[in-house]
Amino acid sequence: MTETDVVDLAAGLAPASPIAALRRQREVFVRHTQGSHDVLIAPADPAGVSLIERAAVALRVASIEQAAALTAHYRSRLQQVGADAATLAMAEHGTPAKPVAPRLAAILEHVDLVATAPGTATRERLDALRGIGLAARDIVVIVQIVAFVSYQARVVAGLRALAQQADA
């Protein structure tokens, strides 16, 4: 587990702010949200989905959600785990400056579909992911990251709105 709380940072909450105090009234919510981040994005054993792939998925979703602070967080994470410029561009913008690994391109294409049109995630698309070496559990992890970062984006937006209302 990290000591950083990504949601607080992305929402711009100072530790002593009223909104941060309100959030801490449900400490289990804070702990489990950060714990989910740590397990999904930075697990000790990433198994079949590499740390680069996990961070790329998270960055792609944050970018789709237009969550600037989360996009910056996941861009930084992707750089920390050693991604090259093409991977960063593909994850953030959907188009690399130069080709990326076919597996990563297929993963990010699936992420785009799940994040924007979940009904298009057909059996054929899942079979194609299996065809590039992803096990069923790997596909589930990718979709969990999509759902989690979408959730993070909504929590951050809500906290920012509360903070703006409190400041008004």
Tens digit of pLDDT for each residue in 113-145?
Answer: 999 998 888 899 999 999 999 999 999 999 999
pLDDT band at 3 (very low <50, low <70, confident <90, very high): low
Would you say the C-alpha torsion 5, 83, 146, 141 has a positive or negative sign?
Answer: negative
pTM: 0.94
Taking phi over 0 as left and psi of -120 to 50 as alpha, with beta for the rest, 58 belongs to alpha
User: pLDDT by residue (tens digit) across 8-44?
Assistant: 999 999 988 999 999 999 999 999 999 999 999 999 9
Please tell me which residue, 95 or 82, carries the higher pLDDT value.
Answer: 82
pLDDT at 1: 41
Q: Output the DSSP codes for 120-160.
A: G--HHHHHHHHHTT--HHHHHHHHHHHHHHHHHHHHHHHHH
How far apart are alpha carbons 125 and 133 in whole angstroms? 13
Domains and CATH numbers, the chain: 6-167 (1.20.1290.10)
pLDDT band at 2 (very low <50, low <70, confident <90, very high): very low
Q: What angle do CA 151, 55, 61 make, to 5 degrees?
A: 40
Within 8 A by CB and 6+ apart from 27, the residues are none
pLDDT at 158: 96
User: pLDDT by residue (tens digit) across 46-82?
Assistant: 999 999 999 999 999 999 999 999 999 999 999 999 9
Percent share of the chain, pLDDT over 70: 97
What's the farthest any 2 CA atoms get from each other in the chain?
Answer: 54
